[in-house]
Chain A
Amino acid sequence: MDMLLGVVVMLVKMAVVLGVALGLAAYMILLERKLLGRFQVRYGPNRVGYFGLLQPLADGLKMLLKEDIIPDGVDRRIFLVAPAVVAGTALAAFAVVPFGDGLTLFGHRVPQVVVDSNVGLLLVLALSSLAVYGLALGAWTSDNKYSLLGGIRGAAQMISYELALGLSLVPVVMHARSLSLSDIVAAQAGLPFALLEPVAFVIFIIGSLAETKRVPFDLPEAENELQAGFHTEYSGMRFALFFVGEYVNMVLLGAVTAIFFLGGWHGPFLPPIVWLALKVLAVPVFLIWTRASLPRLRYDQLMALGWKVLIPLALLNILVTGALLAAGV
């Protein structure tokens, strides 16, 4: 009986997380279009439904029903699977993201996370590394020169910035003494790590900007240079998957930033879930803001920033943190 209940609870949690993530991603697109509008002294979508609220629905339905072109000369299997890898890995990472301390339902304690893995942090990093395959293979197999350039840029960029990203999280683990996301949040009950580890926080934000391929790191799909970059040959729902994957990633990034650095659901006065929602949204809004205000880096500048600045800085930061911890400060 308990096991049955466990399965039901698990399924319900999965459905909720998936639904919330996808819904958030869809409305994140609308939010971005609205905010960009405001940043650019105009309105943004406001005709489809009240305040443009049905815009994502129209876009989604249209994409779903659009022709799915598979060009001649592509490696069919890889071409078909690649977008799913991007969207799938982003969604899968939500499995280890906790949304609260846990509830007590019918006398059972239900953790507010799909899987409370004790290596959650590694899982998040691993899944984000996997997403590179979707991009690089999709680009490679498209048999298009612009896609290929985008794919190479994407692969190089994501691999480089993953290092900085991973290294920036080491001090977090050192403080929390755990790789479980719930424990990391618990460790920030007092002070969020963003204040404790500001350097790591900045490196993490820059690294994740690059991971999500957002301005100023949107080189793989730099439209002014590569038309549509790695997804040039994708149409219909497969293109939409890349698109949705990007926005799910933004939400995911918001969630993990909230958990690693902003103290998760901890906060005064407001209920924990509201705090979490605010923190999760803060990052995407920041990303949209940067998109509205920054130009794009050049490939070599991007690489130089990653290898010559961020990685050495992250390593140094680990040493300093270690020294301070060892000294017992």
Chain B
Amino acid sequence: MTGFGEGLFNPTDAVINWARKNSLWPFFFGLSCCFVEEATAWGPRYDIARFGSEVFRGSPRQADVLIVSGTMFQKIAPVALRLYEQMSDPKWVISMGSCSNSGGMYDVYSVVQGSDQILPIDVYIPGCPPRPEAVFEGLMLLQKKIAAGEKPTRPVLHLPGGSQGGREDFLVDGATKCRDTRGPGYAGIPIRGTAATEPRFAGSRAEVMWTPPVPGLVLTAGQETLAADLAAVFGDDARLTDTVPTPGDMPTYVVAPARLPEVLAYLKEKAPTRFERLEDLTALDETARRVPAGHEATVVYTLTSMSAATMVRLTCPLPSRDSSLPTATGVWSCANWYEREAAEMFGLRFDGHPDPRRLLTHRDWIGHPLRKDYEGRATSRPAFTRADCERLEPVDAAEILGRRAAAGDYLLNFGPHHYATHGIIRYVLAMRGERVKAMGIDIGYHHRGVEKIGERQTWHQFIPYTDRVDYLSGIANNLSYVTAVEQLAGIAVPPRAAYARVMLSELFRLSNHLMYFGTFLQDLGMMSPIFYALREREMVLDIIETITGGRLHPAWLRLGGLAADLPEGWKEQVDAFVKIFPGRLKEYHAGVTRNPIVRARTKGVGGISGATAIDWGITGPNLRAAGVAWDRRKAMPYGAYADFDFDVPTREHGDCYDRYLVRMDEMAQSLRIIEQAAARMPGGRYLSDDARYCLPQKDATLRDIESLIHHFVNVTRGPRLPAGMAYAATEAPRGEQGYCVVSDGGCHAYRMRIRTPGFANVQALPLMIEGLSIADCVAVLASYDYILPDIDR
């Protein structure tokens, strides 16, 4: 005999299931790129509200479904588990995107290879990232699962038996799941590429292939003067490098570690050419060089002179990877995070550093991930389990604030997961009432180890990873990377490709700034602009989709050109958009810019001076809002930008209002560039004919065998680039994004360093926020426009 509610069909079950499936309120939880597409499902074109699921809940207590959208990092996994546990029953979990499903393309030390190792997943949505339509598919699958599979009557009545709330078990590697990328049973087949050695193929001719040397550098008059001056002041302690080949992108000096701060200070304040900004600071592990370097590690300082629009590189050879050298924080305060990162990634020590803690990895991390002998693949390391999650509880707030935490402070954890953090980053605010007295930042929750991955992917294979470094700027990321590699190998880009690159980068700038416009106002409490912004953003994405076939991550640039020619019909679409958009921009200004509350909330809030901004390495619209008219597209033009007519919008105060206005103006300027590019798009090749490094055009591979062979070789083994080093930065939507590619003459990078705008920008946040109220803090964060993988990489 069966008890109440245990029969095959029970009307009570049906009613309860009906209510639950039609009222699935998602928890506001986003990890990375996928969340953008998840949030787009709220937008006008898709409108998840139709399903009654638009009620995002900020508190896990009130939510029904957790959509794990994005990469599950080891550092965030304990947080995700805790939030899941805080949700009230019944609760369901949807895993969205390849990363959450299996680790996806991020088979790397910091990423959990599947969130099902930690959480019970009910529905998997495939894709990288899945489109908003796929979010609906996942939601409807979950609805079906609830309606068909659950018998909630007995649990509701607190009787034993029945079922509700989906799965409850998590998976265990080796027992209930297989993390091996080759699939179960294929353990005997080698995985291509490891961290320390490049993929070697039996009898590969890449080893004996001749490549022309990297283009050398001819010093300009200013650079000659500087070299002479440095030689006079520092003698042999700061000399132009004599290694062969010499980097062709900028003068490179070898500096003795002991005199480093002195040289830096000299370059910043006294030299004939002043270098105002510390562009980047990173290190190299030299132990795996084909030709031994004679030392184990090199620290690299890249400086930019904004007055002379030139750059210089200082290298500091160290005898051992455990060596120490003096800190540069005395010269540039922003060296702080850079040095912490170099220290934890390579094991170096910086004497006199004010805060020598780990930066990106969690506190209990063992090893230095960017050392050549460190195993980079997660699948070659022990699985990250639920037990690890419980062991790695987040560190205490006072610890993050460090010495500045006083007894009796009201410490507020703002993140790692919060509406206003725009991703997973943790701020600790020491509050007095509503006022923020001190602010501490803990980053690394979104550390995807992409620099390590760069050391195992071939030059072309790495392009899709660049899309995801700033996941709202797609092709603008591709551009920074290919520009650096083309600089290294001396590849010329045909004009059609150069123009198309500019046009697409600007389209992405527009799409990014539209998202900014929406989220910024959302954080001021204005809920509608985001929907209008998403409507326009869809138009931009439609163009991008027509041209590239992708939305967020097109991976459409190639070394020397594009993946394909511009398709039929692209111009009509661009022209239509160029006609419509100025009117929409006017609407925005009418509805928002002139709103008195918007002005009251943003004017004079969180300002920063131009000089401070430069000193802290702040770049992009945030710098220009502070009155510094510096835009790499104008100051140091790259690609085809020199051919275009556009202005560099600036403002004075660097406060929230100015940061907002600069971006609004930039949208108008981007539109001008797009219009010009579309009107003057040259004909001709879309890929360089430099067959040594570049892919042949597709139609050629269908006609002649030589092209087909080149295509095959350059796709599978990848081109072999000359040994050398090149840095190239572009004006990405959020600021200056630079790639420092180091080649050892292999088919992939020896070191892939990414200088991101977010890293420098966010480090300076406490300057703007301390002393403001919590509402202002949110306004500053929202007006600042950072993105997490751009900070943590």
Contact = CB atoms under 8 A, between A and B. Distances in A.
Contacts of A146: 412
A45 B50 contact: yes
Contacts of A224: 419-420, 522-525, 778, 782
B50 A47 contact: yes
B775 A66 contact: no
A62 B22 CA distance: 9
A202 to B, nearest CB: 16
Nearest to A153: B434
A231 interface: yes
B57 interface: yes
Given A295-B597, A298-B773, A68 B49 contact: no
A40 B591 CA distance: 13
A301 B681 CA distance: 51
A40 B531 contact: yes
Contact of B59 (A57, A67, A218, A233): A233
Interface stretch (B11-19, B351-359, B498-506): B11-19
B50 A297 contact: no
B26 to A, nearest CB: 13
B776 A298 contact: yes
Interface string B1-45: 000000000000001101110110000000000000000000110
Interface string A281-320: 0000000000111111111110000000000000000000
Nearest to B411: A145
A149 interface: yes
B156 interface: yes
Contacts of B418: 227
Given A40-B531, A62-B64, A69-B61, A295 B595 contact: yes
B304 to A, nearest CB: 35
**Residue among B23, B61, B412, B420 with the highest chain A CB neighbour number at 10 A:** B61
Contacts of A299: 434, 773, 775
Contacts of B531: 40-42
Interface in B45-70: 47, 49-52, 54, 57-59, 61-62, 64
A292 B531 CA distance: 11
Interface in A219-268: 219, 222-228, 231-236, 239
Nearest to B410: A145
Nearest to A218: B525
**Residue among B51, B58, B598, B778 with the highest chain A CB neighbour number at 10 A:** B58
Contact of B527 (A44, A61, A219, A291): A291
A67 B158 CA distance: 11
A125 B186 CA distance: 74
Given A48-B22, A145-B410, A294-B526, A225 B52 contact: no
B88 interface: yes
B526 A58 contact: no
B778 A295 contact: no
A6 interface: no
A33 interface: yes
Nearest to B598: A295
Interface string A193-230: 00000000000000000000001101100111111100
B47 A42 contact: yes
A118 interface: no
Given A42-B47, A299-B775, A292 B528 contact: yes
B132 interface: no
A55 interface: yes
Interface string B752-787: 000000000000000000000111101000100000
B600 interface: yes
Interface in B502-528: 521-528
**Residue among A62, A63, A69, A231 with the highest chain B CB neighbour number at 10 A:** A62
Nearest to A291: B527
B690 interface: no
Interface in B151-193: 152, 156
A202 B420 CA distance: 33
A295 B152 CA distance: 41
Nearest to B772: A298
Given A40-B528, A44-B49, A55 B59 contact: no
Contacts of B64: 62, 66
A52 interface: yes
A36 to B, nearest CB: 8
A300 B526 CA distance: 18
Interface residues of B, number: 57
Contact of B61 (A42, A234, A293, A298): A234
B35 to A, nearest CB: 16
A115 B383 CA distance: 68
B532 interface: yes
A65 interface: yes
Interface string B415-437: 00011100000000000001000
B601 interface: yes
A294 B597 contact: yes
A63 to B, nearest CB: 8
B415 to A, nearest CB: 11
B89 interface: yes
A47 B601 contact: no
A215 B525 contact: yes
Contacts of A52: 50, 52
B527 A58 contact: no
Contacts of A226: 774
B61 A59 contact: no
A298 B420 CA distance: 15
Interface string B533-562: 001000000000000000000000000000
A65 B526 contact: no
Contact of A216 (B44, B51, B86, B525): B525
Contacts of A67: 88-90
B168 to A, nearest CB: 14
B52 A223 contact: no
Contacts of A40: 44, 527-528, 531-532
A42 B49 contact: yes
A60 B18 CA distance: 12
Interface string A136-150: 000000000110010
A101 to B, nearest CB: 41
A141 to B, nearest CB: 15
Interface string A67-78: 111000000000
A45 B50 CA distance: 4
A227 B59 contact: yes
A69 B64 CA distance: 14
A293 B528 CA distance: 6
A288 to B, nearest CB: 11
**Residue among B49, B57, B532 with the highest chain A CB neighbour number at 10 A:** B49
B778 A57 contact: no
A145 to B, nearest CB: 5
A66 B410 contact: no
Interface string B594-610: 01011011000000000
Contacts of A48: 22, 52
A291 B778 CA distance: 19
Interface in B336-355: none
Given A225-B420, A228-B58, 5 more contacts: A65-B152, A223-B58, A226-B774, A228-B57, A295-B595
15 contacts: A41-B532, A48-B52, A61-B16, A62-B19, A66-B88, A149-B412, A149-B774, A216-B597, A222-B525, A232-B58, A233-B61, A239-B61, A292-B528, A295-B521, A299-B775
Q: 6 tightest A-B contacts by CB?
A: A296-B525, A61-B19, A40-B531, A235-B61, A228-B59, A295-B526
Interface of B: 15-16, 18-20, 22-23, 43-44, 47, 49-52, 54, 57-59, 61-62, 64, 86, 88-90, 152, 156, 410, 412-413, 418-420, 434, 521-528, 531-532, 535, 591, 595, 597-598, 600-601, 773-776, 778, 782
Interface of A: 33, 36-37, 39-48, 52, 54-55, 57-63, 65-69, 145-146, 149, 153, 215-216, 218-219, 222-228, 231-236, 239, 291-301
